Amino acid sequence: MIANWRRRRYVVTALGISQIVGFGTTYYLPAVLAHPIANDTGWSYTAVVSGLSLAMIVSGMVATRVGRAIETYGGRPVLAASAIVAAAGMAMMGLAPRLEVYLLGWFIIGLGMSAGLYDAVFSALGRLYGVTARSPISWVTLFGGFASTVCWPLSAWLVEAYGWRATCLTYAAVYLLINLPAFVVFVPDTPRRVVVAGGPPPDLEAARRHRVSLTLMMLISTVASMIASTVAVHLLAIIQANGVTLAAAVALGTVLGPAQVAGRMAELVFGSRLHPIWATFAAVTLIAAGLAVLATGQTLAAVALILFGAGNGIYTIARGALPLVLFDAREYALIMGRMAMPSLIAQAIAPAIAALVMDRAGAPAVLHVLIALALANLLLVWLLYRRRVAT
């Protein structure tokens, strides 16, 4: 028992560190590198930033195949491959002589993101631990919450000292020196699962049995991703629309990170006593409440961001824990892959749509749309509860 607990602790720590590296060098990279890249190369800022959107779309397009691969071969080979692929894409970015090559680097990174970030890691944990994977998932997300805290200052220092190209090449090496060994050494191997000859693929069989529930979960995940990505990109503009200065908006924005970590800590402490549907309810309720309070003006902006951040942090865990109890654990990796595809694509395009709304109707209109989406998600979670838990 003690040996198993220690082994699980090593697995969680290794995967948690991999998420700090993974998110810090993908989602949080353009915030620091985009302007230096545009200034150095002459490429437009919009084109430079669009690399991440491209990577997210690619990640979503292959997510179902990644889930199938993890279900068949286990997490270790897929996660290890993600580190190699992401390192190749990062190196291509660092060496890119033209914008097209730079974007190709992001394309390759998108493949690595799909096989190496939360959805793939959750699937690997579900493959390893079955219905007991909720606690490891919670701990991994707790690590991941520090990605910007660690990598923003590191990226800023590397760019200032050595330039953006050397920063990308350094991160390529980090993937090979940290993430790859973490996956190969600490993630246990699992037996290959073979689909019975002549039978339907297990994901399609699961879809037949749970079509409505799976559709509801995909919708909930997609809407939550749209809200989170839009807030991540446009939060400062939304806050400033209430008459807050840029400096004050940035200061308020720093509340989000600690609030997310606090939400994940609360889920880790109390979540094991509750069905994950209640964590999901709490998450979407806090998100809706935070957005609603933000719409009241600048007076309660800090409170609004604490509510939103805590809800977003809890939802990250609930998204991985809920399928474990609603579906057969043997289908978990496949279901996570199916959920990830629309979620990642929506996450990539939602900020652009929000920007169009902001140009035509202003930042308050974007906030009102986000509130409507958050309320819709409350309804979707209630429908899922009525279908799979209350009956």
Largest Cα–Cα separation, the chain = 64
Say what percent of the chain tops pLDDT 90: 34
From the options 1.10.1420.10, 3.30.420.40, 3.40.630.30, 1.20.1250.20, give the CATH code of 2-186.
1.20.1250.20
Domain 202-388 belongs in CATH node 1.20.1250.20: yes
What pLDDT, on a 0 to 100 scale, did the predictor assign at position 2?
A: 43
What pLDDT, on a 0 to 100 scale, did the predictor assign at position 14?
A: 92
Angle between helices 301-326 and 211-240 (to 10 degrees): 170
Q: Is 191 left (phi over 0), alpha (psi -120 to 50) or beta?
A: beta
The reply to whether 202-388 shares the fold of 2-186 is: yes
Please state, rounded to an integer, the average pLDDT across all residues of the chain.
85
- How many CB atoms lie under 10 A from the CB of residue 291? 25
What pLDDT, on a 0 to 100 scale, did the predictor assign at position 196?
A: 44
Query: Residue 210: pLDDT above 80?
Result: no
- How many whole angstroms separate alpha carbon 195 and alpha carbon 383? 32
Flag whether the pTM goes above 0.95.
Answer: no
Confidence category of residue 19, pLDDT binned at 50, 70, 90: very high
What pLDDT, on a 0 to 100 scale, did the predictor assign at position 6?
A: 66
- Over residues 114-143, the pLDDT tens digits come to 999 988 998 899 888 887 888 888 889 888
What pLDDT, on a 0 to 100 scale, did the predictor assign at position 163?
A: 94
The phi and psi torsions of 274 (rounded to 5 degrees) equal: -120, 155
Query: Residue 389: pLDDT above 80?
Result: no
Structure tokens at 2: 């003690």
Structure tokens at 14: 């290794």
Indicate the DSSP class of residue 175.
Answer: I
Q: Residue ranges per domain, the chain?
A: 2-186, 202-388
- Over residues 284-338, the pLDDT tens digits come to 999 999 999 988 877 788 888 899 989 988 888 888 888 888 877 677 778 888 8
Annotate 36-84 with DSSP letters as a single string.
HHHHHH---HHHHHHHHHHHHHHHHHHHHHHHHHHHHH-HHHHHHHHHH
- Over residues 243-287, the pLDDT tens digits come to 777 777 777 777 777 888 888 888 877 766 778 888 899 999 999
